[in-house]
Amino acid sequence: MRSESTPLYTIGTAADLLQVHPRTLRLYEQFGLIRPARKNNRRLYSDNDLKWIQCIRYLIHKKGLNQEGLRRLLGLIPCWELKGCSEADRATCTAYEDRSTPCWEIASSTCAKAGKCYECETYLTARHRLLNPNELAEIDAV
């Protein structure tokens, strides 16, 4: 049985499922809003990624956030609290110091799960931290 965080969909398939152009997904990744898995230099998206992208699109198109505003908002998610980082770890953590960027965007230098952000609790719960239950239900109904 597969997990919702199992990377399955190529960029073309993910774009078709989301009814967006593949370039949109590349732009979201370039801007640090998503972090799909990579295998042999190919992007692979999980069901969790697709749900997160739906939330991004909702926040941009229905709530009027722009990509920079969303990126900065995501930078405020306290990954160090979710992961239970010690004070010593926080003292050397770039994500703790730079709260203008989502931790998964700078994870390559700070996180034990670098390269596997799609499995990280901070990444997986971002949509639940930014949207209320009614908004999540509205997105799921689409």
Residue 45 three-state SS: strand
State pLDDT tens for residues 3-37. 888 899 999 999 999 999 999 999 999 988 998 99
Parse the chain into domains and list their residue ranges: 9-140
Going by the DSSP 8-state scheme, the letter that residue 14 receives in this structure is: H
Global pTM exceeds 0.95: no
Q: How far apart are CA 94 and CA 141, in angstroms?
A: 37
On whether the 9-140 domain is CATH 1.10.3720.10, my answer is no
State pLDDT tens for residues 37-50. 989 999 999 999 99
